[in-house]
Structures are given as structure tokens and as C-alpha cells.
């Protein structure tokens, strides 16, 4: 059987940044496995600008951002196998791949980096009564149709869900001559970035209906109209508020789910909140030698953070291979999310190994104004920072200092919470 130091599953921005970081850390026996016929992942269909502001200090489009990482990987000589779909990962890191030319084969890896990205929530999960006529697409599918295939899914459009992809597609369809009647969002706030609401909806006079949902779909063969209702605070449609929008297309932008079928089979523990692996500060899962990064770990809104996170995973995988350290016996401290913090990544920290400054990413459960983010190491508050506003749609981060942890050797937990004052 073929043996490799590091096998990276997925050739999107996460997989590429992990491979580059592994090389930089001194491990060059790396292979990236990508099921598609090109590298770059979801970025290839995100042709709008707004990528890379943090990393490159300029606004790139998705394909341009991807191309920079592809070029860097090529320069280093990273081996990337396209058309190679991973069908199984075992807990002892044997990776099984299908490729049209080579058929089914396996690679024994010393370390594996999971970078499979995420997929859109399917419409089955939506529970809209009525027929299932043609003309209902996920926003990401519509994005691929328009930008990659050059096909318009329809001419009169209603969008359910105000996630970023839905907002981006409202503008994209409008530019291509379609009429977007409205974007309905069941929550009282949008899940998308403010910038997208202004530049994708306000610029074109497309109404954003907060606390509204699609309550009925009309049409047998093709969508003919959708009915949009206001919802109460239990998110149930309020009778009598229904408005009918004639249209031929309904786009769904109702959330993304990390793609973790492979992880599960490998025995990787998943978080019920992020639906991604539970990891420590080196982004290692509970299965030794298996690391995770990018959208497979938790859904990101900015690709810059994906690249940063993936670099940590790639470097950790390289260290795992090169140092042959057995981490399992060193003590780990739990990171707890409380008081409006929905989750943290990572959820465990190893004080002896952690970097001097560890970035902890998290999301909040609601919209909070003038609230403090606090971090406690044991009983001691080590961070207390006022935030003017926080929203579920924007990922937050705090930095945990190693010195704060080492100064309190008996600590058994670290807590991140929101406080009024």
C-alpha cells in the first residue's frame, strides 16, 4: 500500500492552505485529494469581490483568491490529485480513494487533514407544505448554474433565507435581468453580512422581509407563485398575513452544514452545535493524527479565517509527523461556551503545547448590543472586552495567552461568556 506522511482531503482554500503550511513546517511528503476536476473548492463559483481583505489587503474575487493559493502550492510542488474522491477514512488513518483511472485504492497516512468543506441544507429539511414543482433551487446551486454553466434558473425570483449566498444571488440574478421580488427571513435579523445587505439588496431596491417565511408554494409542474407570511415569536406563520408573489423560481439560502460523513466513519467525535469535529488547540480531533479545518470544522463567512485556521491544522499535522509526539497523555483543559456564546473552536487546550497566543473562534446565539466578552481561566477573569454589537452571522474571536494559563496550574476549565457589565 502507498504510504504518505500527510493526506489532505479536499482541495479548497482550507486544503491548500493546510498543504502549504505543512511544507513550510518541514514536511513535504504531502498529497491533496480533490474529487472535483479543479482546485479551489467553492471559491470557483463565488465570482463576486470581497475575498482576501484581511490576507492580501485588497478585494479579490473568489477565483482570484483561490488562484493565489493554487499558484503557491504549485510552486512548492505539492502533489494534488484531482478527480480523486475519498470514500473512507479509518481511525488508523487509512484513506480509501476512487479515481476514474486508478479505480479504488488506499493510502496509509501518518496524519490526515479533513478539509471537505460544507454543503447546503437540503430543502427537505424545510417543511413547506404543497407540491414539489420544478423551479426550487438552493442558492448555491443557482450560483453554480449562472456563474459556471452560464444558465439562468428563472426570471422571477423569491429568495427564502438571508444568508450571504442568498443575498449574493439576489444581486447576481438581478444583474442578469431577472426580477427578484423579495428576500424573506424567518428570524428578526439577517444571517448575512451588512455589506451584502446594502450592496446586494438596497442597491437594487429588493425588500428584505424580516420575521417572514414562505408558507405556501403554488404550481404543479413549475413554481407559479409563493406565499410569504409574517411569523410570530415562535416562528409560526401568522394567519391572515399571507402575501402572494407570482414567480417561477424559489431560491433557498437556509444554511450550510459541514460535510462530515467521512469523519464520522473514522470515529471522529462531532459537536451537536457546529456539526463539525470537536478539536483541541492544534485542531486535532479525538482521533490521534486526524486534524480538521475550514468549513468542515465549522461554517465560516470569511475565507481569510479559513486560510488562517487551515495553516494551523497543516502545521500541527507536520509537527505530529515530524516530532512523533504522543500528545494523548498530556493534560488538557476544557473550554466552555456560556451565557450566549454558542460554541468555541477549539474546545480543548493543552497548556504545555499551546502557542503563546491562541486564537479562539466563536459565534453568539443572538444579536447583542453593548455587551462584554469575558474569558475566565478557572475563577479569574483574564479578558473583558466591550463589543458594540455582536450577531450570529458574524464569527467572533478572542486570544488566550499561554502565560495566563500557565500562571494558574490547577485550572481545570476556561470559560468564554457574555456579560452585561
Partner 1 sequence: MSKETHELTCINCPLGCLLTVVVDDGEVVSVTGNTCRRGDSYGRKEVTNPTRIVTTSVPVVGSATQKMVSVKTAHDVPKELIFDVMRALRDVRVTAPVSIGDVVVADVCGTGVDIIATRCA
Ligand X SMILES: Cc1cc2nc3c(=O)[nH]c(=O)nc-3n(C[C@H](O)[C@H](O)[C@H](O)COP(=O)(O)OP(=O)(O)OC[C@H]3O[C@@H](n4cnc5c(N)ncnc54)[C@H](O)[C@@H]3O)c2cc1C
Angle at 90 between CA 23 and CA 102, to 5 degrees: 70
The binder of 59, among partner 1, ligand X, none, by C-beta within 5 to 8 A per type, is partner 1
Q: Three-class SS of residue 139?
A: helix
- CA 304 to CA 359: how far, in whole Å? 14
Query: Is there binding between residue 15 and ligand X (CB under 6 A)?
Result: yes
Separation in Å, CA 409 to CA 331, 347, 398, 403: 11, 18, 21, 10
Query: Is there binding between residue 265 and partner 1 (CB under 8 A)?
Result: no
Segment contacting partner 1 by CB under 8 A, of 54-62, 109-117, 134-142, 340-348: 54-62
- CA 77 to CA 132: how far, in whole Å? 48
- CA 126 to CA 12: how far, in whole Å? 28
Buried b (16+ CB within 10 A) or exposed e, 68-107: bbbeebeeeebebbebbebeebbeebbbebeeeeeeeeeb
Of 24, 25, 28, 47, the one binding partner 1 by CB under 8 A:
47
Residues 147-186 vs ligand X: string with x where CB under 6 A? -----------------xx---------------------
Query: Is there binding between residue 59 and partner 1 (CB under 8 A)?
Result: yes
As measured in angstroms, the least distance from the Cβ of 38 to ligand X is 8
Q: What cell does 59 get?
A: 478585494
The binder of 390, among ligand X, partner 1, none, by C-beta within 5 to 8 A per type, is partner 1
Residues 302-341 vs ligand X: string with x where CB under 6 A? xx--x-----------------------------------
Query: Is there binding between residue 391 and partner 1 (CB under 8 A)?
Result: yes
Distance between terminal CA atoms of the chain? 59
Instruction: Say which DSSP state 303 is in.
Output: H
Residues that bind partner 1 (CB under 8 A): 37-38, 44, 47-49, 59-61, 63-64, 67, 146-150, 175-176, 193-195, 197-199, 202-203, 388-391, 394
Residues that bind ligand X (CB under 6 A): 9-15, 33-36, 41-43, 46, 48, 50-51, 85-86, 115-117, 140, 143, 164-165, 259, 262, 294-296, 300-303, 306
Amino acid at each position: 500500500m502507498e504510504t504518505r506522511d500527510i493526506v489532505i482531503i479536499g482541495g479548497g482554500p482550507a486544503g491548500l492552505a493546510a498543504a502549504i503550511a505543512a511544507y513550510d513546517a518541514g514536511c513535504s511528503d504531502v498529497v491533496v485529494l480533490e474529487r472535483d476536476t479543479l482546485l479551489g473548492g467553492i471559491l470557483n463559483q463565488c465570482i463576486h469581490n470581497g475575498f482576501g481583505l484581511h490576507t492580501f489587503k485588497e478585494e479579490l474575487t473568489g477565483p482570484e483568491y483561490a488562484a493565489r493559493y493554487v499558484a503557491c502550492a504549485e510552486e512548492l510542488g505539492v502533489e494534488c490529485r484531482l478527480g480523486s474522491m475519498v470514500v473512507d477514512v479509518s481511525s488508523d488513518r487509512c484513506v480509501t480513494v476512487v479515481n476514474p483511472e486508478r479505480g479504488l485504492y488506499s493510502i496509509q497516512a501518518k496524519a490526515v487533514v479533513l478539509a471537505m468543506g460544507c454543503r447546503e441544507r437540503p430543502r427537505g429539511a424545510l417543511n413547506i407544505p404543497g407540491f414539489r414543482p420544478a423551479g426550487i433551487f438552493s442558492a448555491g446551486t443557482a450560483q453554480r448554474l449562472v456563474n459556471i454553466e452560464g444558465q439562468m434558473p428563472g426570471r422571477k425570483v423569491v429568495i427564502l433565507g438571508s444568508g450571504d449566498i442568498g443575498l449574493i444571488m439576489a444581486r447576481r440574478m438581478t444583474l442578469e435581468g431577472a426580477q427578484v421580488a423579495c428576500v424573506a427571513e424567518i428570524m428578526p435579523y439577517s444571517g448575512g453580512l451588512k455589506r451584502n445587505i446594502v450592496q446586494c439588496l438596497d442597491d437594487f431596491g429588493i425588500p428584505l422581509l424580516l420575521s417572514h417565511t414562505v408558507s405556501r408554494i403554488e404550481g404543479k409542474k413549475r413554481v407559479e407563485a409563493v406565499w410569504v407570511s409574517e411569523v410570530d415569536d415562535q416562528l409560526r406563520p401568522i394567519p391572515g398575513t399571507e402575501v402572494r408573489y407570482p414567480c417561477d423560481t424559489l431560491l433557498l439560502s437556509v444554511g450550510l452544514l459541514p460535510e462530515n460523513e467521512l469523519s464520522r466513519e473514522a470515529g471522529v467525535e462531532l459537536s451537536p452545535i457546529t456539526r463539525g469535529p470537536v478539536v483541541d488547540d492544534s485542531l486535532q480531533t479525538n482521533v490521534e493524527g486526524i486534524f480538521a479545518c475550514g468549513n468542515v470544522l465549522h461554517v465560516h463567512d470569511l475565507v481569510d479565517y479559513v486560510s488562517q485556521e487551515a495553516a494551523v491544522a497543516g502545521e500541527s499535522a507536520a509537527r505530529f509527523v515530524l516530532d512523533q509526539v504522543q500528545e494523548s497523555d498530556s493534560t488538557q483543559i476544557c473550554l466552555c461556551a456560556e451565557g450566549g456564546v454558542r460554541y468555541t473552536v477549539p474546545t480543548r487546550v493543552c497548556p504545555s503545547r499551546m502557542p503563546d497566543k491562541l486564537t479562539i473562534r466563536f459565534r453568539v446565539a443572538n444579536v447583542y448590543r453593548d455587551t462584554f466578552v469575558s474569558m475566565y481561566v478557572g475563577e479569574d477573569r483574564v479578558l473583558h472586552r466591550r463589543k458594540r454589537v455582536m450577531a450570529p452571522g458574524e464569527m467572533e474571536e478572542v486570544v488566550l495567552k499561554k502565560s495566563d494559563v500557565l500562571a494558574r496550574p490547577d485550572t481545570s476549565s476556561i470559560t468564554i461568556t457574555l456579560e452585561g457589565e
